[in-house]
Chain A
């Protein structure tokens, strides 16, 4: 009997690609059927008719199958473990789809008005969001179909998030973490940040995070540097926050593999990605300038990210974290009761200055890491990525998702990093309900303090844990 089981197992492992594909089709089909009857897509409030609902369920099934096939392509060692991963991803998708009807603060107050403007003026709109021209193009393309904008956006973000989780598991496999890869995948798909940022708030930056993730994976594999740089260019085009990953790209890419031609190709992708927006009516200057929105523009209201920019209070009443409480009071006069010494102009000037200041700090951090030769790769990657996100003023919660996944991986691989990574996870999870609900119980400034403390703990500046006795003695 044992022999027979082993033989079946060996057969399944040998044909894991084919069997994985079949299982992917089965799971996608099963979930679609479940959605038709009583699944998360059984009650779509704003879908607008049965045909639209059928189309959306079909699109979800296709996206689901694509993610499962991606997992199959990346992991073929053991069919049993592949099957577990596919089931985990399916469960993750079900969880993420539960928030499909949720109309968030970010969507209602910022994205929807922009989409309505685009209905009339296409890509010539003035966006209040920090979206780059290519990101705006993606938003425009996604919201043109017959299906409600919110659903389409959420589906895109959910698929990107699940693909990121698959990449995380793939990285765990490459570093031979064994069964911890499945644990990591489980933790990734139930990550509250993912549910809130992708499943609820539908932050389009998740697309950039995915492109960046694939690019870094390719660089880490020391294969396909051209493809890696093209994808990195696309990531930077969708969100300028990806520019803060340049040190990571340099570190993983190395001098020998990434050639100037590859870098030029990446830059070309960034510029070419603006062309559709220009054709769609956006002035060329504004389209190219928008590429630097995330690193230098004002941080978005209710972004819910624990970065340095959140230290500085916003000037407008309706942008304060306390606004959820204030809006309960009917007698409000935000104009006459506002301070004349802290207007929007003051806020803009202070924010710009501090964005440059944070960039200077990030350059210093990278230089320090460069000189630290003894540090483990995980610690280095964690410091670089948390540092980048803390310093970049315009990176949304979507860009923080890879950092959260890296934290989960660090928890599983390096016990001494558990405390700082748990702090980062707590801070990001606590802050990222802000774009969803319009209120936050962990003020962004405190979330920043936690993340900064975690960063400094990882860097060894804030002492924690037992430590070596000789290190603690003055000298």
Chain B
């Protein structure tokens, strides 16, 4: 793209952001409950329009699109931005039950609060909450804005990754798909969760390591890990990177240093070092003992729920007076679930070790070319077999499956299975209903796992044959 046309493209982005700002402002003023004064309305609209405009500029910078591509992208980004803004008022049970209280603590306690353990979130998110609590705009909107920023960041990162793993042609479709994907729209703008944040860093880390920037990749992985423990679903790929020499042992130091940097504000606020380090230990020891799966479409959808309110039928039976949300089943007792959780966890650890052992013994057959395949395999496999998994933990699988589809033309149905199951698994927590039987969703995810595993094994077999042929030639 020449300089003048590039300037024109940025001008188009600015114009799109301005139009979006105006339209959003009218929409917010007319429809949103906590819009506040015109000034606050303008501020909210400006923040969301800036985020979308920034994404468009990022797209121009990274893709250098044609006029048609830019027009299409601008239209879809703007409509998707309106989708996000129209869901800002949605108050989820998570926000109501947890975030409201934590934000109040930060609002009254200020910076010093970082010295204590507020809620069970990681440290970086606590810094974000502290900043949000001090802003003059409704905190619900700002919590969502933070994730929306990373929605766009994720879309741009996925676009770059698609360029590497698939082709230059796949970049724009992947960017647009991620921007308007229902799970991405709902996760941030509706639910106020932050899964796009850590997944954005993971995909960035994957892209950086494949483009020979391992130190930066390790730092990004540390940031992802600092945001969410679920980054561990990606750790087998780090092992693969080490075997292939893409990472060196020294990059472990980069990872540790980056992680420690994220702790500095908390340490300055007076938090004990060990306490700051053990956030995830507290989380995983944590609160949940009543179920094997928290709406995740995995193996455990086939096991009965202890509370009747978590069952498929409760959705409609709750309207009948006298129906108890607790179990009426004498065989599903309080002590059964922790026991089952432990049993499932041990079995899962053994199974994972078995898979990793198989894979290590065949490490030579897994070429660097198979990184994406293996990453997707683990992103589906681990949450599929682990107990106590939440529905959102397949978010990484959602994204990697899109890259997988971009790479392999005949596997474009894989994200339909993964994202479809993911989206429908959000329903129980968001809508308190189960429109699709969760066992069906579990089977959809299993089908995706089978397809990816089969592809991977077939490739490994082919690679083994090639190695044998090379060995024969050398002999």
**Interface residues of A, Cβ cutoff 8 Å to B:** 311-313, 315, 317, 320, 322, 325-326, 329, 331-334, 337-339, 341-342, 345-347, 349-350, 352-357, 359-361, 363-364, 367-368, 443, 445-446, 449, 453, 456, 461-463, 471-475
Please, which residues of chain B bring their CB within 8 A of the CB of A359? Answer: 79
Please, which residues of chain B bring their CB within 8 A of the CB of A311? Answer: 423-424, 435
- Residue contact A341 to B93, C-beta cutoff 8 Å: yes
One digit per residue, 1 when the CB lies within 8 angstroms of any chain A CB and 0 when it does not, for chain B 414-430 equals: 00100010011001001
* Interchain CA distance A346-B87 in the complex, whole Å: 9
- Residue contact B433 to A313, C-beta cutoff 8 Å: yes
| Chain A residue at minimal CB-CB distance from B177 | A364
Interface assignment of B89: CB less than 8 Å from any CB of chain A: yes
| Chain B residue at minimal CB-CB distance from A329 | B320
* Interface pick from B36-44, B284-292, B311-319: B311-319
| Chain A residue at minimal CB-CB distance from B184 | A357
- Residue contact A462 to B413, C-beta cutoff 8 Å: yes
Q: A337-B321, A445-B435 are in contact. Are A353 and B416 (CB under 8 A)?
A: no
How near does chain B come to A448, taking the closest CB pair, in angstroms?
Answer: 10
- Residue contact A357 to B316, C-beta cutoff 8 Å: no
| Most-contacted residue by chain B among A325, A331, A346 (CB, 10 A) | A346
- Residue contact B431 to A360, C-beta cutoff 8 Å: no
How near does chain A come to B258, taking the closest CB pair, in angstroms?
Answer: 35
One digit per residue, 1 when the CB lies within 8 angstroms of any chain A CB and 0 when it does not, for chain B 173-217 equals: 100110110100110011000000000000000000000000000
* Interchain CA distance A332-B432 in the complex, whole Å: 18
Please, which residues of chain A bring their CB within 8 A of the CB of B182? Answer: 354, 357
* Interface pick from B111-119, B149-157, B404-412: B404-412
How near does chain B come to A145, taking the closest CB pair, in angstroms?
Answer: 39
Q: A332-B321, A445-B436 are in contact. Are A349 and B90 (CB under 8 A)?
A: yes
**Interface residues of B, Cβ cutoff 8 Å to A:** 31, 72, 75-76, 79-80, 82-84, 86-93, 96, 173, 176-177, 179-180, 182, 185-186, 189-190, 315-316, 318-323, 408-413, 416, 420, 423-424, 427, 430-433, 435-436, 455, 459
- Residue contact B318 to A337, C-beta cutoff 8 Å: yes
Q: Which of A367, A449, A471 is the one whose CB lies under 8 Å from B409? A: A471
- Residue contact B435 to A342, C-beta cutoff 8 Å: no
| Chain A residue at minimal CB-CB distance from B407 | A474
* Interchain CA distance A472-B179 in the complex, whole Å: 29
- Residue contact B436 to A353, C-beta cutoff 8 Å: no
* Interchain CA distance A338-B436 in the complex, whole Å: 19
Q: Which of B72, B86, B321 is the one whose CB lies under 8 Å from A331? A: B321
How near does chain B come to A301, taking the closest CB pair, in angstroms?
Answer: 15
Q: Which of A339, A349, A445, A474 is the one whose CB lies under 8 Å from B410? A: A474
- Residue contact A353 to B185, C-beta cutoff 8 Å: yes
Please, which residues of chain B bring their CB within 8 A of the CB of A443? Answer: 435
A-B contact pairs, 18 of them (CB 8 A): A325-B316, A331-B322, A333-B319, A334-B319, A338-B319, A353-B86, A353-B90, A353-B185, A354-B182, A356-B79, A359-B79, A360-B76, A360-B180, A363-B76, A461-B412, A462-B413, A474-B410, A475-B408
Q: A342-B431, A446-B436 are in contact. Are A356 and B319 (CB under 8 A)?
A: no
Q: Which of A346, A361, A367, A461 is the one whose CB lies under 8 Å from B431? A: A346
Please, which residues of chain B bring their CB within 8 A of the CB of A361? Answer: 180
- Residue contact A462 to B416, C-beta cutoff 8 Å: yes
How near does chain A come to B307, taking the closest CB pair, in angstroms?
Answer: 14
- Residue contact A353 to B190, C-beta cutoff 8 Å: yes
Please, which residues of chain B bring their CB within 8 A of the CB of A342? Answer: 430-433
| Most-contacted residue by chain A among B84, B173, B315, B410 (CB, 10 A) | B410
- Residue contact A463 to B316, C-beta cutoff 8 Å: no
Please, which residues of chain A bring their CB within 8 A of the CB of B90? Answer: 346, 349-350, 353
The 9 closest A-B pairs by CB, nearest first: A356-B83, A353-B87, A339-B432, A360-B180, A313-B433, A322-B316, A352-B86, A360-B79, A341-B93
| Chain B residue at minimal CB-CB distance from A364 | B176
Known: A317-B316, A353-B83, A360-B80. 17 other contacts (CB 8 A): A311-B435, A312-B431, A320-B315, A333-B321, A334-B319, A341-B432, A342-B431, A356-B83, A360-B76, A360-B179, A361-B180, A445-B436, A456-B416, A462-B413, A463-B410, A474-B411, A474-B459
Please, which residues of chain A bring their CB within 8 A of the CB of B315? Answer: 313, 320, 322
How near does chain B come to A462, taking the closest CB pair, in angstroms?
Answer: 5
Please, which residues of chain B bring their CB within 8 A of the CB of A315? Answer: 431
Please, which residues of chain B bring their CB within 8 A of the CB of A337? Answer: 318-321, 323
